[in-house]
Amino acid sequence: MSSISEHLAAIRAALPSGVTLVAVSKYYDAGAVRQAYDAGQRLFGESRALDATAKYEALPQDIEWHFIGHLQTNKVKYIAPYISLIHSIDSLKLLAETERQAAKCGRLIDVLLQIHIAREETKFGFTFDECRQMLEEDTWRRFSHVNIRGVMTVASLTDQTERIRKEFRAVRQFFDEIKGRYFAYSSAFNIYSAGMSHDYLTAVEEGSNCVRIGTSIFAQ
Ligand SMILES: *Cc1c(COP(=O)(O)O)cnc(C)c1O
């Protein structure tokens, strides 16, 4: 067994059923993805459009690709033909461009709204109020090629577990709030993407059902 397959097995064993594992391959090459694929992993996350597209083209077609990084509007066109979920919608402008590119491809693209909760100013995403404001306006309701499936967040980079826990909990509460207010009709609004290598167990305890793990799978 490769170490990648051992790491995957250990993480899968630690995750409750019903939690989706996105293997984040952004810092690793197609060969590493192939090892994870051979260990049964079919869902991978990338954070740069051109790298994602190169891997999509080089690797088996039954892989599902998620986009997890900051996405510039001028890059949406590269990933729109094949991406299955974009975790990082952080503006109405980016949502509108995703709608436009998905329509061009004749696709319906699943997306998450990224929420900024971390202390670091450099992180991306809507504040709770910015997100409420966007949902309160009707523009997004006219889109028919993007499907808003839930929210995503990145917690503060800290070893203070209680702070991280509070952040994950607050975003989960926000997820429940907007689900009730704007997506009550939609059983498809059901993804809370939170948790990375160092904090995924805390995220799952606080209601995440989709974790994004790179280092703990791929680092040797
Ligand atoms: C890189 C990245 C991850 C994975 O981080 P690891 O610490 O390597 O597990 C998860 N989510 C986002 C948004 C990332 O950019």
- Tens digit of each residue's pLDDT, the chain (220 residues): 579 999 999 999 999 999 999 999 999 999 999 999 999 999 999 999 999 999 999 999 999 999 999 999 999 999 999 999 999 999 999 999 999 999 999 999 999 999 999 887 777 999 999 999 999 999 999 999 999 999 999 999 999 999 999 999 999 999 999 999 999 988 899 999 999 999 999 999 999 999 999 999 999 8
User: What 3-state DSSP class applies to 82?
Assistant: coil
User: What 3-state DSSP class applies to 66?
Assistant: strand
Q: Which of 8, 20, 47, 86 to mutate to test the pocket of ligand 1 (most atoms within 8 A of CB)?
A: 47
Ligand 1 atom nearest to 216, measured from its CA? 9
Count CB atoms within 10 A of the CB of residue 82. Answer: 17
Q: Whose Cα sits closest to atom 15 in ligand 1? A: 69
Work out the angle between the directed axes of helices 49-58 and 30-38 (0-180°, nearest 10).
50
Listed in sequence order, the DSSP H helices in the chain are 3-14, 30-38, 49-58, 76-79, 92-105, 128-136, 161-182, 200-205, 215-218
Q: Whose Cα sits closest to atom 7 in ligand 1? A: 197
CA distance 69 to 53: 14
Is pTM, for the whole model, over 0.95? yes
Q: What sign does the CA torsion over 90, 25, 65, 23 have? A: negative
